Amino acid sequence: MLVDWQLPDGSGLDWIRQVRRRGDNTPALVLTAKDRLQDRIQGLDSGADDYLTKPFTDDELIEAVTVQLHKTARQTDQTKRNLDTLRKSIMTAMPHELRTPLTSILTGSELLIAQSHRINPEKSQQILKGIHRGAKRLETTITRYLELIDLRINATAKTATSFLFNQEWLTQ
């Protein structure tokens, strides 16, 4: 996003801060006539990724945007690699992490069903606690797996949206 420092109804830096608080990491370039070092520091501290002082040439603007597009592409690639590593790790551990608690749930419940008339209340309570622990462990594993899926979907959607937006902007 290209943001002028001085907007008709406020500061472009305030706008960038608001966007960053919402979690939007779209590259932000501040355009301004303010050229003091302190101004540049304040602009970058607001969450801007780059700072261009007016007047600037078309080439300078294109270079600044190109740098940010490449930076975003590198970050997207790194995020994708990290998610792929996490996915592989989870997929390797998943069969064990699902079967272990499921085994305790099935074994405990089968024991209670088959032997309920012969099991004393203390032993029955102990078996039920084991079933509950297994169910909680299974719930945690499934929740983490679903969170991973959600991360992948969101990362893919954000990458696709960002790519399409950036390609449109470059062709205009």
**pLDDT tens per residue, range 32-70:** 999 999 999 999 999 999 999 999 999 999 999 999 999
**What pLDDT score does 159 carry?**
53
Distance CA 54, CA 114 (A): 82
**What pLDDT score does 155 carry?**
65
Compute the CA torsion angle 50, 51, 56, 60 (nearest 10 deg). Answer: -20
Task: Indicate the average pLDDT of the chain.
Answer: 84
**C-alpha neighbours within 13 Å on the C-beta side of residue 167:** 6
Compute the CA torsion angle 54, 75, 1, 52 (nearest 10 deg). Answer: -10
The encoded tokens of residue 24 equal 């939007």
Which of 27-31, 70-74, 140-144 comes out lowest in average pLDDT?
Answer: 140-144
